[in-house]
Structure 1
């Protein structure tokens, strides 16, 4: 009988693993298709197969313990993107906005629990402070996936989350100081925890500088990718293990390890090697969060659970938005930050357990508030969809942004300063050609000013605004904004009002080129055309085609594409001269060799 025990364990592990991955695959795909995000899909999958619903999987606590490595890997990857100089630049937001957020939200929620539920002051503080924290595991992937992590608003969100991680140690200390349980002689005191924190951070910094960086240089000489994966995982898990052994935040240890490697030449390779492990383990974490939802606690007092979840979201959203506004964020972006961080976080599960062990709250209360935390996490994707919808339809007030009436007289007006307009404007400025830049997005203007570029606020497709910007004497107007914002009617108005100006436009595709046919555009450039042609030529060369032949293919493609576009414009038929396009059955014949 004993010989079959390992087989039973292996069978259970395989069955549970297949079930979890299958449920995650189905629900994440479904929720992605519905536009609700992967996080919510994982949580719903865990809730359905977990012990409190269908009961197909048990041991959610042990799964969460393993999957918390995913949070450590996430913080490690974030640390890789933040070198020490950037952290120093964010110090005001980390220790200013972050500190105020933790204190104000934590105390406000403690007061709410004290007077709404009649809990003791000690219990209210032990519950309120953790509820003031947000979900690092949920918010950071959201910021990374949308590319907002390096945006000023994303950096503010990250700064607050980083201080929240730092505040875990003081919160554990506060709960331990209020404990009603017999003193555990093996547990470190609050003062010792503070010393451990400082010592661990200093130790990890020294290890990163004098051991990890030389280690990666040595591995780089071997060129073995497997060693990079092993070394990267070692850096994360060893730093997290050190912090865990000291009763500190494992995520903080992994983050510091990442920061220490942020200036390493192997940073990008490390990032690509660790990313798959981070994705899988973070998915497991959210599965375990779903499994921990206590439906009995929700069913017993549904109005209380949902009321508390709504109250937490409202209180945190209002307070965080107000603090962000005090720190100089625009109203719309302050609301965005408030809703982004309005959920309670995964560290609440840990701290509620600490509070229950300290006999400050009952296990039933810990279970109840864990359900509340999970509900607030579930709400975040929906809240962000709502706020993005609102922000798209209600532009941010821009009364404090300079309009083009304040611009000096220049030769060229560039409308739109996104990724396309930035390249165009910089190439003009490279030859000292003065430009007036106009954009309608306050967030883009703020970001540009951080890099020393003056951008004026307004809708650059309006004739009256262009006249204010000096279009009457300008030599060129370059429309570089999102192509869909430009119509034939707007261009005709520009031509009629400023006939001396050379008008150039970024267009979306050949359909928009056809739409603008007959207008005397000096340049009408499809936004992806040139980059696609360049990539095609380079791909041919990398695949063994001679450079001369690749350049001939490029010339022939351009010529044929122009012929097709002319025919399509004349006839209005997209199938015109389709036979001039290349295909597997319509290749370019080899160049005829001249006789010797």
Structure 2
């Protein structure tokens, strides 16, 4: 009966934790604050200091620490040698300077503010040098800056921070006051153990793991890939633990030794769901362990230290960015973006607590400081947007001029670039207009002259020579174009043929009454081409492929006509060709 009661209790705890985690993560994502913060707050709410719905956070964090192990394995998988070499200056220059300078400076601030020992100040200060990868990367991706020079620099620093978790764990182990650790091998022997263990894991990866994954790959058993991937991580961590070394280092090395293998992407995809779930559980458990009473007793200390953390990191990263010849606005943006504490701080605080370097109350206080600093980042980025934005004026951004071009192309993204290159190859002069400053700068590096300006304004089009142009082509993203705008362009510049890139079927409906010479749906032609190539590859002859394309286009045209006439997107749904309603067309396999 006792075992049954434990099972029921475990299920109840799981329901409560997952339910609260789901609600808070969705809420915090909607507010732009990130999933990590949502998990932490959810854990604090269900924990013993608020609602008291779930207890025994220590046992849960023991299981959840597997999430950290899997995270380091994935970080190792990311370290493809060619990618490391390409980004070596940013990773080992920017990243190393950021971790070292911020770690030393914040440790000094902690030492001054707490009057603790040097070892305790380092155990608290060094982890605070790390930023939140889980928060920053989604912010970069949502802003579309991941593949820009700014995004690459931010990613390089975050990558080095992820790498530095291993030496930081080692530093905490060396400073340990725990008798259990003291009875372990001396430091020089620990170093030899580490080198031998890493070397052994690399050899095992080359001569055991790669052949094993090759066999599994040939079998085509996806479940075995998952099983083997988890075995690799846990076995590497267990070997390191048996030697008294860092389990995180074992998982990291396991990832590195498979980073340039052909199975890297498969492993990453298989392990990622387990990492996400266990990492979420880890942060829930950390939230439960936060001593809210200790935090409530010293709210000014928590707020003041959070402010000091943000200011110190922002200033140092700003200075490093300037030293690496970044524009001051970009350096400021980088400093603010990485000014918060990160999820690895909680891991290192737990290590420091186990090493008897800090008390549980200190771990709770500084965990709250990390949490508060993470909450400020989205607001800091929002309120400083105008300061960070590159000013645009006639002195540094040239507006369009009438230069006799036959064609005006508004929007020089991936779509507009293709259109422009084909026209230029035919000898047609073009004028390119866009509002994306960063894209304009990148384009200039490839020899393309793109003018800054809003190409939907009639006065700017006139300034660009639209009155004499033969073609005006709107290649912009989204569906911001309207029938009224297109009609206004036609009335103002009647000599020009107007072509529009439509985002989707809804965009087409918006332009149904507009005076436009041609509308191209964004992905339709490329999708038709893929279908043709696919049919060709399985032996269908060209005449059948042509009939299939003609049949699809005819039905799509009928559907569009019905939608134009009714204004209803759901009109003529019977014209959609589906698996269960295939028309009897006489085409191969068409069905009856």
Same fold flag (TM > 0.5): yes
Flag the 1:496–1:11 CA change in 2: closer, same or farther, 3 A: closer
1:10 maps onto 2:4 in alignment: no
Q: 1:87 aligns with which of 59, 84, 87?
A: 84
Alpha-carbon shift at residue 130 of structure 1 (Å): 1.9
CA separation in 2, counterparts of 1:260 and 1:446? 38
- The separation in 1 between residues aligned to 2:79 and 2:132, in whole angstroms, is 20
Greater displacement, 83-92 / 320-329: 320-329
- Change in Cα spacing, 1:118 to 1:39, as seen in structure 2 (3 Å) is closer
Shift in CA distance, 245/376, structure 1 to aligned 2, threshold 3 Å = farther
Q: Give structure 2 stretches of 5+ with no counterpart.
A: 588-592
Counterpart residue number, 2:97:
100
TM-score under structure 1 length normalisation: 0.79
Q: Pick one of 544, 553, 575 that aligns with 1:582.
A: 575
SS in 2 for 1:505: strand
Conservation of the 8 A alpha-carbon contact between 1:75 and 1:251: yes
Map 1:279-294 to 2 at 5 A.
279-294=276-291
Q: Is the 8 A contact 2:528 2:549 kept in 1?
A: no
Structure 2 CA distance for partners of 1:46 and 1:162, relative to 1, 3 Å: same
Instruction: Give runs of aligned pairs for residues 494-505 of structure 1, distance below 5 A.
Output: 501-505=496-500
Distance 1:62 1:531, change over 3 A: farther
User: Which of 533, 546, 553 is residue 555 of structure 1 equivalent to?
Assistant: 553
Q: CA deviation at 1:421?
A: 3.1
Q: Distance in 1 between matches of 2:176 and 2:112?
A: 21
5 Å-filtered alignment, 1:381-460, equals 383-384=377-378, 387=381, 391=385, 395-397=389-391, 403=398, 413-425=408-420, 437-445=432-440, 452=446, 454=448, 456=450, 458-459=452-453
- Which whole-Å deviations, capped at 9, do the CAs of 1:212-246 have from their partners, x for residues lacking one? 33322221111111111112222333344445556
Aligned length: 580
CA distance in 2 between counterparts of 1:220 and 1:408 reads 59
Match of 2:522 among 522, 527, 530: 527
Alpha-carbon deviation of 1:504? Answer: 2.5
RMSD: 4.5
Per-residue CA deviations over 1:316-357 (Å, capped at 9, x if unaligned) read 234324433443445555444333322223333344355456
User: Is the contact made by 1:165 and 1:249 (CA closer than 8 Å) also made in structure 2?
Assistant: no
* 1:524 alignment partner, SS class: strand
Instruction: Please list the CA deviations of residues 43-81 of structure 1 after superposition, one character each: whole Å capped at 9, or x if unmatched.
Output: 222112223333332232332232232233334445545
Partner SS, residue 265 of structure 1? coil
Conserved 8 A contact 2:286-2:346: no
**Stretch deviating more after TM superposition (68-77 or 576-585):** 576-585
Q: Is the 8 A contact 2:75 2:162 kept in 1?
A: no
Q: Which of 363, 367, 391 is equivalent to 1:366?
A: 363
How far apart in 2 are the matches of 1:454 and 1:191? Answer: 58
Contact 1:105 1:319 in 2 (8 A): yes
- Asked if 1:482 corresponds to 2:480, the answer is no
Q: Give the one of 284, 296, 301 matched to 2:298.
A: 301
State whether residues 400 and 451 of structure 2, in contact with CA within 8 Å, keep that contact through their aligned partners in structure 1.
Answer: no
Q: Distance in 2 between matches of 1:280 and 1:557?
A: 45
Distance 1:591 1:262, change over 3 A: same
Aligned-pair CA distance for 1:455:
6.0
Alignment-derived partner of residue 231 in structure 1: 228
Say whether residues 1:269 and 2:263 are aligned partners: no
Q: Secondary structure at 1:590's aligned position in 2?
A: coil
The equivalent residue for 1:507 is 502
Q: TM-score, length-normalised on structure 2?
A: 0.80
Q: Distance in 1 between matches of 2:65 and 2:109?
A: 30
Q: Is the 8 Å Cα contact of residues 349 and 370 (structure 1) preserved in structure 2?
A: yes
> 2:524 and 2:106 mapped to 1: Cα distance?
54
- Kept after mapping to 2: 8 A contact 1:74/1:137: no
For 1:255 and 1:471, the matched residues in 2 are separated by 58
**Equivalent residues of 1:439, 1:458 under 8 A apart:** yes
Q: Which stretch of the first structure deviates more once superposed, 452-461 or 104-113?
A: 452-461
8 Å contact from structure 1 (residues 458, 465) kept in 2: no
The structural deviation recorded for 1:294 is 0.9
Structure 2 Cα separation of the partners of residues 47 and 542 of structure 1: 57
Q: Does the residue aligned with 1:167 lie in a helix, a strand or coil?
A: helix
CA distance in 2, matches of 1:447, 1:66: 47
| 8 Å contact from structure 2 (residues 400, 433) kept in 1 | no
Contact 1:504 1:523 in 2 (8 A): yes
Deviations 1:152-174 (A, max 9, x none): 44433332233223434544555
> SS state of the match for residue 519, structure 2?
strand
Query: CA 1:589–1:444 in structure 2 vs 1: closer, same or farther (change >3 Å)?
Result: same
SS of the counterpart of 2:130? Answer: coil
Deviation of the 1:574 alpha carbon:
0.9
Could you tell me which runs of 5 or more consecutive residues in structure 1 were left unpaired when the two chains were aligned: none
User: What displacement does 1:88 show?
Assistant: 1.0
Residue 504 of structure 1: SS of its match in structure 2? strand
Over residues 140-185 of structure 1, what are the superposed CA-to-partner deviations in whole Å (9 max), with x where a residue is unaligned?
Answer: 5666787765554443333223322343454455556666777954
